[in-house]
Each structure stands twice: as C-alpha cells, then as structure tokens.
C-alpha cells in the first residue's frame, strides 16, 4: 500500500449526519436509516430530514458513510464536524484590551468611546494567526520565558541549543530563540521591558486562560535585541537585525525606536523590500510634524515602511504622537496599552504585565495586523498587504491631514480587503467514488464591484483526489450585475488505501489569494481481517490459526528504490539489496549506440516513467503490475551524450516533465510536458524574465519595442493616439500603459505582445492640458501633468481614481523646476526620476512625498543629462535610459545615481517622444538550457540550467514562468523537499542543501563521483545516483550518507 501523509480532521469519531429525501422515505424514516448499519441509533435533528446517527463499536465514520451512500432515499452522509466558537479569548485581562475591543469600558481610569478600536474581535472570526508567520521584534529584547509569550516564541529547528556550534550555517551560533545583536550572543532576554511589551501586543498567546492576548493568538515571534541591557538601540545592531530577520523568513518587523539616519539602515530596509518584507515603525513621541522634522527610521521614503501614530480610547490623536501627512501613514491605539513585561520586572515596568503609552505601543498593533493579513494571504505582495491595511482602516476626522491615510487601524476591515471574492462549499466531505458534481463551490463577490465582471483563478491542490471537469486550475467569471456563480467539484477514484485526503481549494484574484477552503475526500477502499478459527486455546502452540487480510483493491507497486543502470531499472530494498532488474526496451527494436536511459520517476498511480534516449528521446512508461511498456516519442528533444547528468524527468499526476537541451541544429530546447492520459505534448521554458524597453514616437505615435543594448527596433504597433502625439508609455512587466498628449486625459492599458488595448481609463487632470510623462511603480501610475505645471498625478488603476497629486516645485520650496519630458521609477528607492527639459536636469524625488532625495553626502540627487529636450525616461534594472530628440534620436544611459555609462543611437525616422521600461522585467526569449527538472512539494515545476546555478519556477498547468533564482553553489541535479528547501548533487559527489532562496545551508561529502540524479520523498529520504556504479541514501538533515553499489555505470 502506498504511504501518504494524511491530515487530521476533527469530527466526532462515532457519529454521522445523514440527510434523507422526504419524498422517498416516510415518517418512519429513523428506523429505516438505522437499519442500514446494524446496531446504530438515530435521532432527528428537527423535522427537515436530517438525522444524527450514533455508530456501533467497530464501525468508523468513513465506513459508515460508505455503507450509507447510494442507499434509496439517503441524500448524503457526512462526518459530524467539530467547529470553533466565535473568537473572543478567555484571557482574564482581555477587558483591559480596549485597542482590540472598545465597549466604552473604563481602562486605567479613562472611559473610552465604544468602537474606538481596531475591531480585532471581529477579525479573529476570520483568523487568529498562524505559527507559520514569522514576525521580528527589533527592540530591547523579549522575555522569551514569559508564560504568555513562550509558546509563540520562534524556535530555530536547525540549531542545537548550547553546543557552541552554528548548526544551520546562518552565521549565528545557538540562535535558537532569536539573537542579541548588541552584545553578539544568542540570548535576547529583555531587561528594559520595552521589547517584551511590544511582543505581547503583537503575539501574546491567545485563549490560554492567563494574562493578556496579542493581535495574533498564534504566531512566531523572533526576538532581535538591538540595545545593551539598559541602553538604547544601536544602529549597527538594527541593520544586522533586519537582515537577519529577512534571512530567517520574517515577513514583517516592528521598530519602536528612533535613531539617526544612515544609508546602512536604509539599505537594510531596501533589502527587506526586495524580499517582500514590511517594516513597521513608530512615528515618534515628540508631538511634532515629521514632514518638517524628520525622525528615523520613520522618515525613510521606502514604500515597504508603514509608520504608525498613536490614538487614544476616544479616537483622538494622542497628544504626544508625532504626525505628518506625507510621512506618517496610519493611526493605531497607543494610550493605556496593557501588555506583557519581563517576569522579573525591569527598569521601567512591573513584573508580568503593565500599562504603557507611546507610538511604540501603536506600531506593534499595526505589525500584529500585518501578521494576521499574512496568515490569510501568505503569497501576496507587500504592496497588496499595505494597501489592504490602509483601505480597510476607519477614517477619522482627528487624523485627516495628520496621517496620509486619514485613518485608524481596523483589523477586520483590512482582512476584508483581501477578499474581493469569497467561497463556500455545499459539502465539507465527499467520498472518492462520488463521481461528478460530488460537491458544489459557490463564489460570491464581496468587495468586487457588482457592476463589473470579475474573473478569478480556482486552484485545486490535489488532482488525484478532486477536479472540476478534469481541471485543477481554471478561470471562473462572475458576470457583471451578478452576485455569485457555482462550480461543480468532481471526486476522483483511485486504487489506494490512503485514508481521508484533504484537498485545498483556493481562488486567486489579481495575483492575491482571496479565499480557501478544505474538502475531505474519504477513502472507500477497505481492509478486512478474518481469523480462522476465531477461537484458539493458549496452549495450541505454533500455527494455531490463520489471519487472512483482504483489501478491496490492489496496488501495482511496492516502495522500492529504483535506479536506472545500464539501460535497465534495478529495484533495491531499503538495505540496498538488489531485488530485481527490468530491461528498458528501445521502442523500435535494437537500441542504437549512445541512446541511453537518463532518468526515472514513479508516477502517482505506481507506474514508472523513464527518460529513454539521448539524441532521440522517448518517454517510456512501465507498469510493474503486468510488466507492460508504452512509449511516446518527444520530437526534437535531446540530452547531452557527453554529460550523463542531463536529461531530467519528473512527474505529478498524469503529467511527465522532461528537460530538453539543444544539442544539435534543429533541436528544440526548454522543457516538455507530456500528459500520459491524453497524449498531449506541450513545450515551454523558452522564456525567462529580462529587461524590455519600449518607446513611442512623434508625430507617428506608434509604440516600438527596442533592443535595450543596440536600440534596434524589434517590432512596433499602432496606438489610440489621436488629436496629438504620444506623450508617454510605461511597462509593468506585462502591459504597456500609454498616454496621449491631448486634453482627453485617457490612459490606455495595452497588451505588450499583441498591441491590443485591453482597458481605457479616464484619469482627469489638474491642468486639463494633457500629460507629459508616465511611470509605473508598485501598482500605481504616476503622470506628469500638463506642460510646466510641476504636478505629478498619482492614479490607482484598481480603484480607477486619483489618489494623490504632488506639486513637486511647491513641495521643494518653489524654485521653478519647470518639469516636463518624462518620468521613470526607481523601485529600489520607491522614487521617481523626472526631467526638466529646458534646464537639461533630471531630479530623483520620493514617490511618497515628492521631495528631491538627498545623497549620503547631503547634496541632492539631481544632474544634467547632457541632452536638451529629453525624449522620455526609462529604468531597466540598474540603469536609467534618457531619450533625446535634439541633435538626432539617441538614448544616453546612466546608472541610477546619474553617472554616464554609454550612448545608444536610434534608427527612427520619426522623433523619439517617450521611453517605457519601469524597472520590471518582462518575458523575453530565454538563454537558459535546462539539464534537470523537479516537481516541488508546492506542486510547482523547478528546472536547473546547464550551468548548474540558474533555477526557473513554472506553473505546472499554465506552464508560465513564475520566477528565477540562483543557487549559490553549482550542482548537476536538483530536488525539493516539503519545507521548500532544495538539494543538489555536485561534480565532486557532494550533496548540498539550499534554502528556498538558493543560499547554501549545508553539504555532505561521500566516496562518490559526479552525481547525475537526486530525489527526495515526502518523509525526507534522499536517494542520489552517481555516474559511475554507485548510489547513495541520506535524509534532508544531511547528517549521514550511506552508499551502495548499483552493479554497473
């Protein structure tokens, strides 16, 4: 029988809910239902045809459901699930937590106003957090032994406490529960009390019957101590702490402190942003305006920073709180905040719990809210999370003009922002042989516009258990003026005695997961045991009886280790003993020279897929049940004859994936998907992400795609420009955003591959004279408005509205900047480059505040481009492209600090009006040639380039490339484990373990040669094959390696 990981499900173990058809069964239904299962008892639950059945001893819930299903008059039979109460915790100090739920109660002598709170109590009905969300507390330390915190303190499983060794090779010895970056040791204990108070607000354990409760009942807190035991925060410690937190996988960090500004700290924040990490910062407690008196880190311009002001129990801005319309983002409770303090007391707090005031108390409210958002939407971008935070907040008159959102944190509102569409399901459990339409999912618009069509992507996690019309990834559209639609879910039967399997159904909208639910698929296979005789005497001795075990189906394959050796499959047991050998046939008869077997994998149905051939390639499928073979030729596929580590194969469901090298003229390259069931063959992997440059011309108003190196035209297409020339174009990685230099104020969204207009937006303008330039940055469109108005209009294409207007000249003192010509973003600094055509000057300004950014030496980021009449700006990776029309079409290229690098001549007959390339890579023809392919435990496809370092991630259903990263050490083969780590085998016979981002974690060497293949199973076992006679067995810890002889090369 095939072992599978079965997720536990909570239901009453001896009860089943039974629904009956009242038209079929009469009033005496109860006894009829009970008669189906001898010894059962039933009672009606009301009078609408639902009964609760108590099962007799020895009958399990799945068995009962199988027996009841299909009986006349019975509509369904389901487990009696155990649910949860509405989420208000039982922590005795909860009534003091007015910031979570304010009923008007008196707290610390102050009576509050009802609902002047974060609505955390309502948000907890959606989620109470997740231990998989890691939150860094960058502060004075944390009392990690506090009884209300200990269960939520992060434990580094890769580290052994107290052995003085950096077991996980992350650069920090014994960092089991965080680290003290001020003193350089592994004990982040808090003696000041500040960090412990902050920690409790973020994540004091909820519903544990003691003390208080954090915004997250369940979370992983990572203590990062950045100050001496009784001292203040140290910048270097803060920098190291942020980088450490990011490397450990923290998704958000809390910073309730102020320090002097440094580039090092800003760079750490920039690095955090590159890793989708949000930095939450206290605004400060000096009652000043940060717009005019900046404090740090709150006043850094990066858009992954969220700055929190403090509000009181009556929704007023706290008297001590800093503010700033451009520099402070959101309000949160920060007065009379009750939270955890060190158990031994501290220099400032009493033992265990105490009240405190400050923006230091407001920021962890926000940090905790972000952690909750991450618990329901772990893959969303930081921009999406922050936008939900602001959009879901409560607008308050007391905060208008004082914080940019004009609002106070509302946790429930923020969570709702992540649900444009919600799901429900008709049944929480089905049997695997229920067939088509076993359950029905209903999708409903929540925040999505009722008058617009909304298309989401539905994903079903396990296509071997359930699908919808044979698909596990499918678009679902809720039409305009319609509230909901339904989707049928089909059960898929198998031949495995695998118990109850849990299938996750999720929906994705605009790149963010909106909702998910679980569907339990109950096994209908059984095992029966018969004892003959059924009574024996204790002195009967050996062979007194026989146990006959019968299963309702037969598996076709036992869990051996299979090694492809000398064009054969060799089956070994767990001790490395050879059990049997099966020759891999050549489909057309005699196997030609150099046409060798390269890789092998076991499919989910127990059959074995083989990469069969070198310059001629077949996918050959072996059925161990009857010994039969089937073969499918993959035309123009190849592996390297000289490198036996090429030619990778992996499987998931009915799909077989192979890597395909270009080894001779006419060969294809990339990856291939072969569907064993349908016979369909699809090629993919021929594109990766790279810089793309677009330019618009005047007066022709076409858009051209240009070679970023030579400036040569790749292709061009017509645009909707009329009544004026093209004024600008921007590129978001998939679409071109195009504006026309006229008074229509229309913004066009254009498919970058086809040139077709997919949407049109009426923006409006402050000058009504059209726009001069455009840039795309973090989901927003920035438009240089009118000729020499110095206004930049910030437009949100999702909300379809202007969200801000920056008068750049006025913001910077009214010096007459006379901006015109072009805009381009710098995503790394959340800034914009804007040109002033007549002064030949380019300025770099904050996209958030509009201020000209300073350099580390105190001067401003501005320089002369050397070109009068700039013809647009664009950023491609780490370079700024400046177009020029005067003196002939050309593009001057600078680094992002304004240092000239080179000039590209333009072949256009028409004038170059604008450039588009906004720091976001698009799909380009790939130079990657893949040597190996693996199916990750996250169901994505990972392919290893022939160079051994570049890895591409692909969607197994759409086949679209999702991302690319590099391994820090070259390897010949690739595998993935359930934790998201990667494993590779080197030319020296070493097994190397990499983190999810590709950084090496550990390695182990054996007496092996170059490794040609590696596989990891669900239990963490690793098998690796070398190119000369041996294979090896290890585990994901790489603690030991055991080697075996395979008998041949």
Burial degree of 320 (CB within 10 A; 0-12, 13-18, 19+): middle
CATH numeric code, 690-924: 2.120.10.30
- Give the sign of the dihedral formed by CA 787, CA 788, CA 789, CA 792: positive
Q: What angle do CA 536, 537, 543 make, to 5 degrees?
A: 60
Long-range contacts formed by 549-552: CB under 8 A, 24+ apart? 551/1, 551/497, 551/525, 551/526, 551/527, 552/497, 552/524, 552/525, 552/526, 552/527
Burial degree of 178 (CB within 10 A; 0-12, 13-18, 19+): buried
pLDDT at 731 over 70: yes
Instruction: Give the residue among 284, 292, 115, 128 at the shortest CA–CA distance from 206.
Output: 128
Give the pLDDT band (50/70/90) at residue 1022.
confident
Cα(745)–Cα(770) distance, integer angstroms: 6
Q: Which of 151-155, 327-331, 681-685, 709-713 has the lowest mean pLDDT?
A: 709-713
Instruction: Give the residue among 630, 575, 640 at the shortest CA–CA distance from 603.
Output: 630
What DSSP designation does 335 have? S
pLDDT value of position 481? 78
Give the pLDDT band (50/70/90) at residue 802.
confident
How many Cβ atoms from other residues are within 10 Å of residue 856's Cβ? Answer: 10
pTM for the full model?
Answer: 0.48
pLDDT value of position 62? 83
Residue 153: is the preceding peptide bond cis (ω within 30°)?
no
Q: Which of 209-218, 298-307, 410-419 has the lowest mean pLDDT?
A: 410-419
Give per-residue pLDDT as tens, 522-539. Answer: 877 666 777 888 788 878
The second-level CATH assignment, the architecture, of 11-81 is: 2-Layer Sandwich (3.30)
pLDDT at 624 over 70: yes
Mean pLDDT of 400-420: 87
pLDDT at 431 over 90: no
pLDDT value of position 867? 60
Q: What angle do CA 279, 285, 290 make, to 5 degrees?
A: 65
Residue 638: is the preceding peptide bond cis (ω within 30°)?
no
Length of the chain: 1049
Helix ranges restricted to H, 749-841: 808-811
Burial readout 954-974 (b: 16 or more C-beta within 10 A, e: otherwise): bebbebebeebbbbebbbbbb
Give the pLDDT band (50/70/90) at residue 83.
very low
Cα(749)–Cα(736) distance, integer angstroms: 6
pLDDT at 112 over 50: yes
Instruction: Give the residue among 273, 742, 740, 741 at the shortest CA–CA distance from 750.
Output: 740
pLDDT at 5 over 50: no
pLDDT value of position 7? 24
Give the pLDDT band (50/70/90) at residue 558.
very low
CATH of 421-522, one of 3.40.50.150, 2.60.40.2030, 2.170.190.11, 3.30.70.260: 2.60.40.2030
Give the pLDDT band (50/70/90) at residue 849.
confident
pLDDT value of position 444? 84
Mean pLDDT of 125-143: 92
pLDDT value of position 8? 27
Whether the CB-CB separation of 912 and 874 falls below 8 Å is answered with no
pLDDT at 370 over 50: yes
pLDDT value of position 278? 97
Helix ranges restricted to H, 794-846: 808-811
Whether the CB-CB separation of 224 and 178 falls below 8 Å is answered with yes
Cα 266 to chain centroid distance, Å, stands at: 24
pLDDT value of position 90? 57
Higher pLDDT among residues 870 and 31, named by residue = 31
Domain 561-686+929-1045 classification at class level:
mainly beta
Q: Share the mean pLDDT of the chain.
A: 83
Q: Which helix (H) or strand (E) holds 362?
A: helix 359-376
Higher pLDDT among residues 525 and 802, named by residue = 802
* Share in percent of the chain as helix, strand, coil (round to 5): 10, 40, 50
Give per-residue pLDDT as tens, 169-211. Answer: 888 999 999 999 888 899 999 988 899 999 999 999 998 888 8
Mean pLDDT of 222-240: 85
pLDDT value of position 575? 72
Q: Which of 107-111, 240-244, 609-613 has the lowest mean pLDDT?
A: 107-111
What DSSP designation does 152 have? G
Whether the CB-CB separation of 994 and 1000 falls below 8 Å is answered with yes
Burial readout 555-575 (b: 16 or more C-beta within 10 A, e: otherwise): bebeebbbbbbebebbbbeee
Q: Number of helices and strands (H, E) in the chain?
A: 10, 73
pLDDT at 556 over 70: no
pLDDT at 479 over 70: yes
Using CA atoms, how far residue 471 sits from 458, 477, 516, 655, 674, in Å, is 10, 16, 17, 13, 16
Cα(382)–Cα(269) distance, integer angstroms: 13
Domain spans, the chain: 11-81, 129-284+300-308+343-392, 421-522, 561-686+929-1045, 690-924
Q: Which of 395-409, 580-594, 766-780, 893-907 has the lowest mean pLDDT?
A: 766-780
Sheet containing 703-706: give its strands across: 713-717, 703-706, 693-698, 911-916
Sheet containing 879-884: give its strands across: 870-876, 879-884, 890-895, 900-905
| Four-CA torsion 504, 510, 514, 516, nearest 10 degrees | 0
How many Cβ atoms from other residues are within 10 Å of residue 111's Cβ? Answer: 11
Burial degree of 715 (CB within 10 A; 0-12, 13-18, 19+): exposed
Cα(749)–Cα(972) distance, integer angstroms: 43
Mean pLDDT of 764-784: 78
pLDDT at 85 over 80: no
What are 854's strand-pairing partners? Answer: 860
pLDDT value of position 583? 94
CATH numeric code, 129-284+300-308+343-392: 3.40.50.200
Give the pLDDT band (50/70/90) at residue 786.
low
Residues 6+ apart with CB under 8 A from 258: 282, 284, 295, 296, 297, 298
Cα(170)–Cα(179) distance, integer angstroms: 12
Backbone angles phi, psi at 389, to 5 degrees: -60, -50
Show which residues are catalytic: 139, 194, 360
How many Cα atoms occupy the beta-carbon half-sphere of 335 within 13 Å? Answer: 24
Higher pLDDT among residues 503 and 1026, named by residue = 503
Cα(255)–Cα(281) distance, integer angstroms: 5
Mean pLDDT of 734-745: 80
Mean pLDDT of 396-421: 87
Give the pLDDT band (50/70/90) at residue 123.
confident
User: Percentage of the chain surpassing pLDDT 90?
Assistant: 31
Report the first-to-last Cα separation within the chain, whole angstroms.
Answer: 31
pLDDT value of position 721? 67
Q: Which of 282-296, 741-755, 972-986 has the lowest mean pLDDT?
A: 741-755
Instruction: Give the residue among 429, 426, 465 at the shortest CA–CA distance from 443.
Output: 426
pLDDT at 89 over 60: no
Instruction: Give the residue among 1040, 1022, 1018, 1039 at the shortest CA–CA distance from 1031.
Output: 1022
Give the pLDDT band (50/70/90) at residue 1018.
low
Backbone angles phi, psi at 522, to 5 degrees: -85, 135
Give per-residue pLDDT as tens, 975-1001. Answer: 998 788 999 999 888 899 999 889 999
Cα(300)–Cα(260) distance, integer angstroms: 11
pLDDT value of position 87? 37
Highest-scoring range by mean pLDDT, 444-453, 637-646, 718-727, 963-972:
963-972
Query: Strand runs (DSSP E) across 161-274, as ranges?
Result: 179-180, 218-225, 252-255
pLDDT value of position 149? 96
Residues 6+ apart with CB under 8 A from 476: 443, 455, 456, 457, 458, 485, 487, 507
């Amino acid at each position: 029988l095939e072992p599978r990981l079965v997720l536990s499900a909570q239901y009453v173990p001896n009860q089943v809910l039974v629904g009956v058809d009242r038209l079929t069964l009469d009033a005496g239904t109860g006894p009829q239902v009970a008669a189906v299962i001898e010894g059962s008892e039933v009672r009606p639950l009301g009078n609408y045809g639902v009964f609760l059945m108590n099962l007799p001893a020895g009958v399990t819930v799945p068995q009962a459901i199988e027996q009841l299903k299909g009986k006349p008059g019975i509509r369904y039979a389901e487990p009696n699930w155990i649910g949860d109460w509405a989420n208000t915790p039982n922590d005795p100090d909860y009534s003091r937590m007015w910031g979570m739920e304010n009923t008007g109660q008196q707290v610390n002598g102050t009576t509050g106003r009802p609902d002047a709170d974060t609505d955390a109590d309502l948000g907890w009905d959606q989620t109470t957090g997740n231990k998989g969300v890691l939150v860094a507390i960058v502060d004075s330390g944390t009392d990690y032994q506090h009884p209300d915190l200990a269960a939520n303190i992060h434990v580094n499983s890769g580290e052994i406490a107290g052995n003085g060794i950096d077991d996980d090779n992350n650069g920090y010895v014994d960092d089991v529960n965080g680290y003290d970056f001020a003193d350089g040791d592994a004990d982040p204990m808090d003696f000041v009390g500040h960090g412990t108070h902050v920690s409790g607000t973020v994540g004091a354990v909820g519903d544990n019957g003691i003390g208080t409760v954090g915004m997250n009942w369940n979370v992983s807190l990572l203590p990062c101590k950045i100050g001496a035991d009784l001292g203040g925060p140290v910048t270097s410690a803060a920098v190291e702490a942020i980088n450490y937190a990011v490397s450990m996988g923290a998704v958000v960090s809390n910073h309730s402190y102020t320090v002097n500004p440094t580039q090092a700290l800003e760079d750490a924040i920039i690095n955090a942003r590159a890793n989708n990490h949000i930095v939450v910062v206290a605004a400060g407690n000096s009652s000043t305006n940060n717009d005019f008196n900046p404090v740090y880190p709150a006043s850094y311009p990066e858009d992954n920073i969220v700055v929190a002001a403090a509000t009181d129990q009556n929704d007023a801005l706290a008297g001590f709180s800093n503010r700033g319309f451009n520099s402070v983002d959101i309000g949160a409770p920060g007065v009379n905040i009750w939270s955890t303090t060190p158990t031994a007391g501290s220099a400032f707090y009493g033992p265990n719990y105490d009240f405190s005031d400050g923006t230091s108390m407001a920021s962890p409210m926000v940090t905790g809210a972000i952690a909750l958002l991450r618990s329901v939407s772990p893959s969303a971008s930081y921009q999406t999370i922050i936008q939900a935070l602001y959009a879901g907040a409560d607008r308050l008159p007391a905060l208008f003009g004082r914080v940019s959102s004009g609002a106070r944190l509302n946790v429930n509102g923020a969570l709702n922002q992540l649900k444009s569409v919600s799901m429900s399901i008709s049944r929480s459990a089905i049997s695997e042989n229920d067939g088509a339409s076993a359950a029905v999912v209903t999708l409903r618009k929540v925040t999505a516009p009722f008058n617009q069509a909304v298309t989401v992507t539905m994903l079903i996690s396990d296509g071997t258990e359930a699908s919808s019309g044979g698909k596990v990834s499918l678009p679902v559209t809720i039409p305009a003026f319609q509230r909901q639609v339904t989707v049928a879910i089909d059960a898929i039967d198998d031949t495995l005695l695998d118990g109850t399997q849990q299938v996750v159904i999720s929906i994705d909208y605009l790149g963010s997961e909106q909702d998910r639910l679980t569907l339990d698929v109950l096994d209908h296979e059984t095992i029966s045991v018969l004892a003959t005789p059924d009574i024996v005497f204790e002195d009967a001795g050996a062979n007194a009886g026989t146990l006959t075990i019968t299963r309702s189906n037969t598996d076709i394959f036992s869990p051996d280790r299979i090694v492809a050796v000398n064009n054969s499959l060799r089956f070994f047991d767990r001790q490395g003993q050879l059990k049997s050998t099966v020759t891999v046939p050549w489909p057309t008869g005699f196997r030609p020279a150099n046409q060798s077997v390269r890789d092998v994998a076991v499919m989910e149905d127990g059959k074995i897929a083989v990469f069969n051939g070198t310059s001629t390639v077949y996918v050959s499928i072996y059925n161990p049940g009857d010994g039969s073979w089937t073969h499918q030729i993959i035309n123009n596929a190849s592996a390297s004859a000289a490198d036996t580590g090429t030619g990778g194969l992996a499987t998931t469901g009915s799909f077989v994936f192979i890597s395909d090298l270009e080894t001779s003229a006419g060969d294809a390259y990339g990856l291939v998907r072969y569907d064993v069931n349908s016979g369909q063959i699809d090629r993919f992997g021929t594109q990766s992400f790279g810089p793309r440059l677009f330019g618009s011309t005047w007066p022709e108003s076409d858009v051209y795609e240009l070679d970023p190196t030579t400036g040569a035209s790749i292709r061009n297409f017509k645009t909707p420009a009329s009544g004026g020339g093209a004024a600008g174009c921007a590129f978001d990685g998939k679409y071109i955003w195009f504006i026309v230099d006229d008074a229509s104020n229309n913004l066009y969204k254009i498919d970058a591959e086809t040139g077709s207009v997919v949407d049109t937006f009426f923006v409006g303008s402050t000058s009504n004279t059209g726009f001069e330039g455009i840039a795309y940055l973090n989901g927003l469109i920035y438009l240089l408005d009118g000729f020499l108005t110095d206004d930049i209009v910030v437009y949100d294409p999702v909300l379809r509205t202007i969200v801000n207007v920056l008068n750049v000249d006025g913001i910077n003192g009214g010096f007459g900047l006379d901006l015109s010509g072009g805009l381009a973003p710098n995503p790394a600094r959340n800034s914009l480059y804007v040109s002033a055509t007549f002064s030949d000057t380019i300025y770099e300004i904050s996209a958030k505040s509009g201020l000209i950014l300073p350099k580390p030496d105190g001067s401003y980021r501005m320089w002369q481009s050397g070109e009068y009449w700039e013809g647009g700006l664009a950023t491609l990776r780490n370079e700024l492209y400046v177009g020029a029309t005067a003196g002939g079409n050309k593009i001057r290229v600078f680094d992002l600090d304004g240092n000239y690098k080179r000039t590209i001549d333009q072949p256009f007959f028409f004038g170059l009006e604008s450039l588009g390339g906004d720091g976001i890579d698009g799909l380009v023809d790939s130079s990657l040639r893949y040597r190996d392919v693996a199916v990750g435990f996250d169901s994505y496809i990972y392919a290893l380039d022939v160079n051994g370092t570049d890895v591409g991630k692909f969607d197994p259903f759409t086949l679209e490339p999702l991302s690319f990263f590099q391994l820090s050490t070259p390897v010949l083969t690739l595998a993935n484990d359930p934790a998201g780590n990667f494993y590779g085998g080197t030319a020296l016979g070493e097994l190397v373990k990499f983190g999810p981002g590709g950084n090496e974690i550990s390695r182990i060497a054996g007496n092996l040669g170059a490794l040609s293949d590696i596989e990891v199973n669900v239990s963490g076992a690793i098998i690796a094959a070398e190119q000369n006679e041996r294979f090896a067995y290890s585990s994901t810890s790489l603690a030991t390696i055991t080697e075996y002889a395979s008998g041949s090369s």
